[in-house]
Structure 1
Amino acid sequence: MSGDRSSPPADAGGHDDRRRWQALGVGLVAAFMTLLDISIVNVAVPSMDRALGATPSDLQWVLSGYALTFGLVLVPAGRFGDARGRRAAFVVGVALFTLTSTLAGLARSPEWLVATRLLQGAAAGVVNPQVSGLIQQLFRGAERGRAFGLLGATIGISTAVGPLLGGLLIQLGGAEHGWRWVFFVNVPVGIVAVLLAWRLLPTRPTGQPDRHRLDPVGVLLLAVGVTLVLLPLVQHAQWHTPWKWALIPAGLVFLVGFGLWERWYARNRPPLFDLRLFGLRSYTLGSVIALVYFGGFTAIFFIFTLYLQTGLRYSALVAGLAITPFALGSAVASALGGRVVTRYGRPLVAGGLLTVMVGLVTTVYVLRGSPSGSVPLLTAAPLLLAGLGSGLVIAPNQTLTLAEVPVPQAGSGAGMLQTGQRIGSAAGIAAVGALFFSSLSSTRGDWATAFRHSLLLAAGIIALALVAALVDIVGGHRRDPAAAHR
């Protein structure tokens, strides 16, 4: 089907053109809100510590527990939306996210805050695959690329702007209670999103609703596998025993068991996740690119915030402003990348990855020695360049990865893709963070050197994503000389 906006897709659920874009707008607002909560809380940690008397372990769970439960429910929630309709799953997810945000803001103890963060992460995991599935359901051709471009901009901006918005809210709310507004800000947005989603989102899934049970054994195997893989990554700073790493191979065993179970289950009933999707080269290599890229991409903000706030004693607000050039570059390039991805294909992603690497290496160069000027000013231009490259990676890669996924499997396919992103983020932060602190210790507190070393590792991780993109490009040329331009 063409990308003509005057003719909505046949499976748009009766939605006219304007209504489709309004529904997308609601989805993007919810996605922004849930993804923002991954990074916005980082700058609020010192304030939470003072207000609640939290231990380092409590604070680590506040940060990592959200990412853990987020990753756990992505695939089951996506499958539920595919089978029973995305509106119900989306509305329940946003409502739960709004409620848990309220409870987190009202927390009176570290245990209360940790519990609500775990529930909040699970709610975010329910919401996000519905947004990708909605784009697959309502848009086709060039329109789908533009819609994913907007989603990519949302992902990039929410990740990068979190520290800035968190710093502003803490500044306005005060050192003692400003952290509560990091959570309360979600409440009015969530209420409006629930009301609009109930009116604008499609009421039925594509085709006939699937009345089969939603594969509880598959859900359990996947949940245990993902938990065992993620736990040592998100708790690496608090669990000092080397035995923690034994959980990762144990998790991989459960994930292999999940794959075998899904293969058997699919003989008679719709599985939680259709393994045949990995038979699509675009889906497999795109998932690898996303997993590896997020391993380098999200680690950048983690170490940069530490360097600026703890090492150089900048305020949370200034630290957030320093990351803004990356967010602006990502927003502009994501919108552009979504429009041209159908013309240039995977080479666009490869070019974006190379640009990110150039921006990061340039950042290392301008911080060589002992930088005498303002670090936020010195890094503004190279981070802008890296942001422009990132915008050409996230949205175009998601468009290409999901391009061949059938619409009835769009939610579970997007859920598995995002699960890989969450695992990649946790692994990248663990690896880059470990090098950062190791270098800081070996150089006796030289924050600039530690930051440069860890930033080079992040660039190296992104280089691995570039290799995967080049493999896809070369494979496309061998199979079909025109494949790289689709």
Structure 2
Amino acid sequence: MAQTSPPAGAARTAPDPRPDHLAPAPRGALPLVLTGAFMAVLDTFIVLVAAPAIQADLHASDADVQLILAGYQLTYAVALITGARLGDRFGRKRLFQTGMALFTVASVGCALAPGAGFLIAARLVQGLSAAAMFPQVFALLQVLVPAERRARAFGALGAVIGLAGAVGQVLGGVLVSADLLGSSWRPVFWVNVPVGVVTVALTARYVPESRAPRARRLDLPGAGVLTVALGLLVVPLVEGRPAGWPLWTWLSLAASALAFAAFVRVERRVAASGGEPLVRLRLFRERPFAVGMLLVLLTYAGINSFFLVFSLTLQDGLGQDALGAGLYYTPFAVVFFAASLLAGRLAHLGRRVLQAGALLVVLGFGSTVALATAAGPGLSAGQLVAPLALVGAGNGLLVTPLLGAVLTGVRPEETGLASGVLSTGQQIGGAVGVAVLGVLFYGALGPAAHQDVAAYGHALTCALTANAALAALVALLLPLLPDPATRRG
């Protein structure tokens, strides 16, 4: 699913950084910390269901909708590692509170947005605030929970993240359909406000402060160059098709390649000078990490783009209201959650679990394409439930074990940094997937009218064919990833 999952093995491999003088966490500390993770993930999913209503109410373009979704993930991705380092230096509790407070204020801005441009800007701020808040969740769990109970704490974090995905789909549908006081989609952002205010207030009382003994310096040049590179890549992908692919879009794409090359040079220069680069490039010399990061990028590009095109098809194409669309996601969420738990119990099977998951995803997308093609204008939402459940089961078996496998070969002292890079890769993959697959979906859809079932079914098959190809590529590349079961043995 489209989220930052706790790296399986983080609780197992990372050294216990708890200072001896730090008392066990107060009873209310862990629920408050987990609330931050819940909110950060919720706002990816709740907006997906509300996207058609937002587009209609604000007269937003297709590109605007993509930026409302991908912009949150982009700023989230770029600032995650910097957010972790700020917490190490200035205090994790302080950064968690600051991030939650800013997230709450940005949610008010989203709810009051008079137009698409304002909403996009507020979503960018939301992403930055989530990046300040979310890394502190990992760090605080490491610091506040004794080593013998930490695996259970990270398991709880995984459950909370999975629950956020399921609740986001259904809650978004309920709130949009309720149309409270004629406010349409705006309650999907207002709901963050009371939760944020209460969490900030209670954190001050129940969560103890902690800092890293040796806080790393910030790599502002690296963060700046990476931000520019991602912007040069994603903006033309989102804006290019509706603009007719003018020259500036191609120049921007070319410039993004140069900017990414510049980012690598900046990181090498920072490391050579004895500084702390945003990304330690030597991590990518380890095959498990390098191959694993590629697999994570491909996997999340497929997951996030799927949610976008499926939501649009259900509501704009098949005539479901927001609540109906949210409920149709429930089988996916339930099966994903169950398969994730099963994957943990099957960990001794190693890479075979990941391969089974990837093949189930291919089967799910492939059967959806076949079904939609055969049904044509007779396609209905109910017909898509079974293949959607297959996709959920496959992702449940694939995603969480994959994240753990990527970190298997990382040295314990670099687990925190590698987890930050991994989380960043998840968000970048999701944002680029939304941009690229969005271009394919909208291009195949053309100027179709709402509830033109045949046109939306055709666009869905085009997009999901690409999703199936991504999942097949993941299945083909998985043998290059060292088997985590072998490494444990």
Matched, 1:304 2:310: yes
2:15–2:413 contact (8 Å) kept in structure 1: no
Matched, 1:122 2:131: no
Distance 2:436 2:300 in 1: 12
TM-score normalised over the length of structure 1: 0.84
Report what 1:185 is aligned to. Answer: 191
SS at match of 1:393: helix
Residue deviations 1:305-335 (CA, integer Å, cap 9, x gap): 1211111111111111111111111122223
Matches within 5 A, 1:386-405: 386-405=391-410
Alpha carbons of structure 1 residues 354 and 61: separation in structure 2 relative to 1, 3 Å: closer
Report what 2:464 is aligned to. Answer: 455
1:82–1:411 contact (8 Å) kept in structure 2: no
Find 2:335's aligned residue among 322, 329, 332: 329
Sequence identity percentage: 37
Alpha carbons of structure 1 residues 33 and 365: separation in structure 2 relative to 1, 3 Å: same
Amino acid at match of 2:251: A
Report what 1:261 is aligned to. Answer: 266
2:445–2:459 contact (8 Å) kept in structure 1: yes
Find 2:224's aligned residue among 220, 226, 245: 220
Alpha carbons of structure 1 residues 358 and 109: separation in structure 2 relative to 1, 3 Å: closer
- Name stretches of at least 5 consecutive residues in structure 2 with no aligned partner: 1-8
2:238–2:439 contact (8 Å) kept in structure 1: no
Matched, 1:41 2:40: no
SS at match of 1:271: coil
Matched, 1:348 2:353: yes
1:172–1:178 contact (8 Å) kept in structure 2: yes
Distance 1:15 1:232 in 2: 52
Distance 1:144 1:164 in 2: 31
Alpha carbons of structure 1 residues 333 and 60: separation in structure 2 relative to 1, 3 Å: closer
1:98–1:190 contact (8 Å) kept in structure 2: yes
Find 1:431's aligned residue among 425, 436, 440: 436
Distance apart, 1:87 and its partner CA: 2.5
> What value does the CA root-mean-square deviation take over the aligned residues?
3.5
1:35–1:158 contact (8 Å) kept in structure 2: yes
Matches within 5 A, 1:70-89: 70-89=76-95
274-283 or 102-111: bigger deviation: 102-111
Distance apart, 1:91 and its partner CA: 1.9
1:164–1:321 contact (8 Å) kept in structure 2: yes
Amino acid at match of 1:128: F
Matched, 1:271 2:274: no
Alpha carbons of structure 1 residues 404 and 146: separation in structure 2 relative to 1, 3 Å: farther
Amino acid at match of 1:78: A
2:91–2:209 contact (8 Å) kept in structure 1: yes
Distance 2:227 2:241 in 1: 23
451-460 or 235-244: bigger deviation: 235-244
Distance apart, 1:397 and its partner CA: 1.9
- Name stretches of at least 5 consecutive residues in structure 1 with no aligned partner: none
Matched, 1:96 2:102: yes
Give the count of matched residue pairs. Answer: 472
SS at match of 2:387: helix
Distance apart, 1:234 and its partner CA: 3.9
Alpha carbons of structure 1 residues 55 and 257: separation in structure 2 relative to 1, 3 Å: closer
1:355–1:388 contact (8 Å) kept in structure 2: yes
Distance apart, 1:281 and its partner CA: 2.7
Distance apart, 1:57 and its partner CA: 5.7
Report what 2:235 is aligned to. Answer: 231
Alpha carbons of structure 1 residues 209 and 92: separation in structure 2 relative to 1, 3 Å: farther
Matched, 1:369 2:369: no
TM-score normalised over the length of structure 2: 0.83
Distance apart, 1:43 and its partner CA: 3.5
Distance 2:144 2:286 in 1: 22
1:363–1:382 contact (8 Å) kept in structure 2: yes
405-414 or 160-169: bigger deviation: 405-414
SS at match of 2:209: coil
Amino acid at match of 2:102: L
